[in-house]
Amino acid sequence: MIMNTIKCFFAAIAVSTTLSGCSAASRPSAPANEIVTRQPSAVAPGEDIGKSLIGEWTIIKVGTTDIRQDEDMPYINFSPAELRFYAFNGCNIINGDYRVESSTIILSQVLCTQRLCPDISYDGEINYALREGEKIHVSIKDIGNESYMYLSDGTGHKLLTLRRHNMDFLNGEWVVVKIGNETVDDEGVNIFFDISAKKIHGNSGCNYFNGNISMDPATANSINFTNMGVTRMSCPNSDRERKMLVALEQTATAIRGGSDKALLIDRKGKTLLTLKRAPKDDM
């Protein structure tokens, strides 16, 4: 279906006249055994936040209302190379230009589609937060593997809270040192992650495997491995291989386990695989 795209004008009254009917659930939380290996950091006051905006941010809170959905989470994607933003408010697509002034952004040429979504209660508030011409104050903090962005108006009222996954720490080669509580003493059991390409491949100690990486924007530290393929050679350690491949299929989150370690964890918070950063080849 082709939807009309028109110039978006939003006044304060627009917030109170949006359609309702979708209740909010509790804010998603990180696994109980999460290890945070770096202290929260933030963009310093007065620092240009332009470079920190890059990428897709999931909107997890509108005003004081937490957003929790299984799919179609609202988001904002900033493209500094174009000084353009692209957003989804849970119902309609929004895009436009932006410019950065120290720790604020100002939107212009904002356009949006015009679908009606009676089950979405917060789309009008997102539209209001992204209205053009207003200075939006930006604060960004890094906590653990993720970045959080807070958009506020001139009075300090928080409009939107957003989260951006940062799984770049997984990039490269890792050696599997534990499967569950079982120690693995074989450097040939390894995993390679390519987060930007969303690809995974490795060796179980006998067979090669590969697959795709996906992340659930509604879940903190989310990572999933799908469309996994594996070669079919006969292996002396077939039971260990089976446990490793099952662990990859059950992985729901990933966190740092120290300066050179990473943990792959299931939905219940159980550590499935413990990884150690492979030594770099000096050749």
* 91-118: pLDDT as tens digits: 999 999 999 998 999 999 999 999 999 8
3-state DSSP helix/strand/coil % of the chain, to nearest 5:
10, 45, 45
pLDDT 10s digits, 34-93: 333 333 344 444 456 878 898 889 999 999 999 987 678 999 999 988 999 999 999 999
Among 35-44, 145-154, 211-220, 241-250, the range scoring the smallest mean pLDDT is 35-44
Report CA-CA distances (Å) from 156 to 138, 150, 152: 10, 10, 5
**Predicted confidence (pLDDT) at residue 10 exceeds the cutoff of 70:** no
**Predicted confidence (pLDDT) at residue 127 exceeds the cutoff of 90:** yes
pLDDT of residue 31: 34
């000084």: which residue's tokens?
83
% the chain with pLDDT above 70: 82
**Domain layout of the chain by residue ranges:** 5-165, 168-277
**Predicted confidence (pLDDT) at residue 6 exceeds the cutoff of 90:** no
Averaged pLDDT for residues 169-192: 95
Looking at CATH, the fold of the domain delimited by 5-165 is given as Lipocalin (2.40.128)
């939003």: which residue's tokens?
10
Evaluate whether 5-165 and 168-277 have a shared fold.
yes
Among 24-28, 154-158, 181-185, the range scoring the smallest mean pLDDT is 24-28
Bigger pLDDT: 26 vs 169? 169
**Predicted confidence (pLDDT) at residue 276 exceeds the cutoff of 60:** yes
Flag whether the pTM goes above 0.75.
Answer: no
pLDDT of residue 104: 94
Looking at CATH, the fold of the domain delimited by 168-277 is given as Lipocalin (2.40.128)
How far is Cα 65 from Cα 22, in angstroms, rounded to an integer? 11
Among residues 103, 163, 105, 155, the alpha carbon closest in space to that of 130 is found at 105
pLDDT of residue 160: 97
**Predicted confidence (pLDDT) at residue 32 exceeds the cutoff of 50:** no
Bigger pLDDT: 265 vs 56? 265
Q: Which backbone phi and psi does 201 adopt, to 5 degrees?
A: -155, 165
- The model's confidence at residue 193, banded by pLDDT at 50, 70 and 90, is very high
CB 78 within 8 A of CB 22: no
Averaged pLDDT for residues 189-214: 95
DSSP one-letter string for 261-281: EEEEE-TTS-EEEEEEEPPPP
CB 230 within 8 A of CB 190: no
**Predicted confidence (pLDDT) at residue 228 exceeds the cutoff of 90:** yes
Bigger pLDDT: 5 vs 277? 277
Token digits for 73? Answer: 């989470």
